[in-house]
Structure 1
């Protein structure tokens, strides 16, 4: 069996990434996911990151939370899906982290 393909959509807020992720995932019968928040643990981390009450998170803490989410997401969902021959279509990926956490 061949490995599935990982396809990630990147772009500005509101540019249509989620819409295109849904359309492509449906068309390919692929696993649809997002970063952050593609797993139960990731959803919990995402809620912490987007909660307005948490504006005092340091950039380092925010980056480490994103890295923890990504590590869990890859191990829990992405790698097993690809190994099973399923395509994975993601709303955002590591490149968003580079833009948001790396360059502000």
Structure 2
């Protein structure tokens, strides 16, 4: 459907989103499953422009991190807004 992301700014923005998420969600490298899922979503987003299904899965993942107190409500909201802004702008700005 969509090709892999290739623009350097787009790649940097996607990488930064997931780097920030992983850094906040698992600063001490103790939540392997959180990192595993975040990395899988990163690969999916880099491979192609995310579909609505992937977007909904990432939103659910963020909600799960908030529900389990891995992220605060404010952090979860900020990541959700960054994700939506990134998708809407094709990751050209976040």
TM-score (norm 2): 0.45
More RCO (CA 8 Å, sep 6+):
1
TM-score (norm 1): 0.41
Q: Per residue, is there more strand in 1 or in 2?
A: 1
